Structure 1
Amino acid sequence: MDIESFRHFCLSFPDVTEEFPFGPETLVFKVKGKMFAFTDVDLFESINLKADPDEAIELRERYPAVQPGYHMNKKHWNTIVMDNSIPDRLIKEWIDNSYKLVRSSLPKSQR
C-alpha cells in the first residue's frame, strides 16, 4: 500500500476529514473530529491505527511489523511498519476496524 492508496481508503468512509494538526508532515484522518488513523505524509514508513486493547496485543504478537503505538496510548493504538510484510487486505481491515471503533465511541447523535 502506498500513501495515495492509504489516503483514498481512509477518505472513503463517511464523515472523514483529513487534517495536519501536528504539523505539515503528519497526515491525520478523523471521523467527526476524533482520530482513527495517521501517518508521516513524506516518509510513509508507518501508520498508526486504533485497535481494541485485546486485539492490539494479539496483532503485535502475531506480526513483527505491528508495534505499540508510537507516541500514543499503547493500550489502544498500534503502529504498523509499512514494509510490505502485511497484505493490503489486512491493513484495510485494520483501518476499517479503527474507523468503526472510533465512530462507535461517538455520542449517539453524531454516529
Structure 2
Amino acid sequence: MSDRIQGFLAGEGIDRFADRYTLAGKPLSTRHSPGMVAATAVAGFAATPGPIAEAFLRALWDMPVPTGEQRYVDGMLQLLSLMHCSGHFRVIDGPEGAVRG
C-alpha cells in the first residue's frame, strides 16, 4: 500500500500534489500539503526501498517550517515525521515517565 501511495503522489509531483483526491485519483483541491509530504515520507519505512521512498525522505529533510493557514497541522506532521524518521520518536509510559524506544 505504501508503494502505491508513494508512487501515485510522486507521479503527481512531490512538490505539487493536491491535498485531497477522489477514489478515482482526481484532485479535489489545488492546495499542496507539506504535512502530507511528511506523512508519506514515514510511509517509506513500509515501502520498497528505492528512489521514490528516498525522494519523499529528502523532501521531508529539506522542507522549510510550514507557514500560512494550515501551519499548525502541517507543522505537527512535519515535527512528528522528522522525529520518527530520525529515530528520536519516543513513547513516555507510566506514572514515572519511563521512556521506551
| Higher Rg of the two aligned structures | 2
Q: TM-score, with normalisation over the residues of structure 1?
A: 0.27
Q: TM-score, normalised by structure 2?
A: 0.29
More strand by share: 1
Of Structure 1 and Structure 2, the greater helix share is in 2
